[in-house]
């Protein structure tokens, strides 16, 4: 079912109105009143019936197939971004390149290097770390000190592996739900990604808690969290965790910060000075 029936119909009408028949080589006449393409003209170009197009625009047809959406996108001369938006409004997976984009761009590498005063790392959508600064390794732990599978954020949590992160029961529930919903969302976008599929299969087998949450079919995005870090030298750090998705990739930039002037901010300043000059670490992709 479409995400928003009215929005889908309004978007379709807007894109139809912006096209002129001359652009598409269609005949025109002096009595033409339509601002852009007539419904009959778009229906003809897309190979659908005019009545069905009316139903789509009015929200009476709510489940257009991927084939119909692709035909409408071609007829309307949509850009790649507009085509993706059309599919999303209709509640359909966007066809096309279904490979996970997890190559670290130079721009993201530079951004990570400039975040030297905050613990920061880049993760792929499977929640494996692929790059991090020295402050991240100091505060969270060095990923390279662990076997590859144990670097995975979801795997570590649901298998009860050691961590410096302390969570209340409410924070645990929120994190569990968020990370599982995020993995399910990624699985829906990339059903053919074998590494993601294998991770989810292994998590379902290893963790009854993960399996139960997975079977709720909840989808979502893990995008922020408050973290309490038990640092061996500076004690408890109260940090805000913000997760940003980088444009054009499926990478997630994670940055930990503390309120200015707080004890945790002062502790981060001490750690940042100790880590100054150390290079970024690039892990496996």
Which residues lie closer than 8 Å to 49 by C-beta, 6 or more apart? 43
Instruction: Assess contact for 248 and 112: CB atoms under 8 A.
Output: no
Q: What are phi and psi of 51, to 5 degrees?
A: -65, -40
Q: Which residues pair with 245 in a beta bridge?
A: 252
Which residues lie closer than 8 Å to 129 by C-beta, 6 or more apart? 121, 122, 123, 143, 151, 153, 283
d(CA 61, CA 141): 53
What are the chain's domains?
5-89 (1.10.260.40), 106-282 (3.30.450.180)
Instruction: Assess contact for 160 and 89: CB atoms under 8 A.
Output: no
Rg of the chain over CA atoms, in angstroms? Answer: 24
Instruction: Assess contact for 254 and 117: CB atoms under 8 A.
Output: no
Which DSSP state fits 26? Answer: -
Which DSSP state fits 280? Answer: P
d(CA 180, CA 154): 8
Give this prediction's pTM.
Answer: 0.72
The tens place of each residue's pLDDT in the chain, 285 residues long, gives: 444 447 888 889 889 888 877 776 666 665 666 668 888 888 988 899 999 999 998 888 878 999 999 999 988 888 877 888 888 888 887 776 567 888 888 889 999 999 999 999 999 999 999 999 999 999 999 999 999 999 999 999 999 999 999 999 999 999 999 999 999 989 878 888 999 999 999 999 999 999 999 999 888 899 999 999 999 999 999 999 999 988 778 899 999 999 999 999 999 999 999 999 999 998 876
């Amino acid at each position: 079912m479409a995400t928003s029936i009215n929005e889908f119909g309004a978007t379709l009408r807007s894109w139809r109105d912006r096209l002129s028949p001359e652009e598409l080589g269609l005949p025109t006449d002096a009595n033409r009143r339509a601002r852009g393409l007539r419904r009959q003209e778009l229906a003809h170009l897309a190979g659908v019936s005019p009545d069905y197009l009316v139903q789509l625009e009015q929200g009476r047809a709510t489940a257009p197939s991927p084939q119909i959406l692709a035909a409408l996108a071609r007829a309307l001369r949509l850009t790649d971004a507009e085509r993706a938006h059309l599919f999303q409004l209709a509640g359909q997976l966007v066809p096309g390149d279904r490979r996970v984009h997890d190559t670290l761009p130079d721009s993201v590498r530079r951004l990570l290097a400039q975040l030297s005063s905050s613990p920061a790392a880049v993760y792929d959508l499977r929640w494996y770390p692929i790059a991090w600064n020295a402050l991240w390794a100091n505060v969270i732990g060095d990923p390279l000190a662990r076997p590859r599978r144990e670097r995975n954020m979801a795997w570590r949590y649901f298998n009860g592996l050691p961590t410096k992160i302390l969570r209340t029961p409410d924070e645990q529930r929120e994190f569990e739900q968020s990370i599982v919903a995020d993995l399910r969302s990624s699985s829906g976008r990339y059903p053919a990604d074998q590494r993601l599929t294998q991770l989810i299969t292994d998590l379902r087998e290893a963790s009854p808690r993960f399996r139960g949450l997975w079977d709720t079919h909840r989808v979502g995005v893990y995008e922020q969290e408050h973290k309490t870090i038990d640092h061996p030298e500076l004690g408890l750090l109260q940090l805000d965790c913000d997760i940003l998705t980088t444009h054009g990739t499926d990478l997630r930039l994670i940055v930990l910060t503390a309120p200015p002037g707080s004890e945790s901010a002062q502790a981060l300043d001490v750690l940042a000075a100790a880590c100054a000059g150390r290079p970024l670490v690039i892990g496996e992709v």
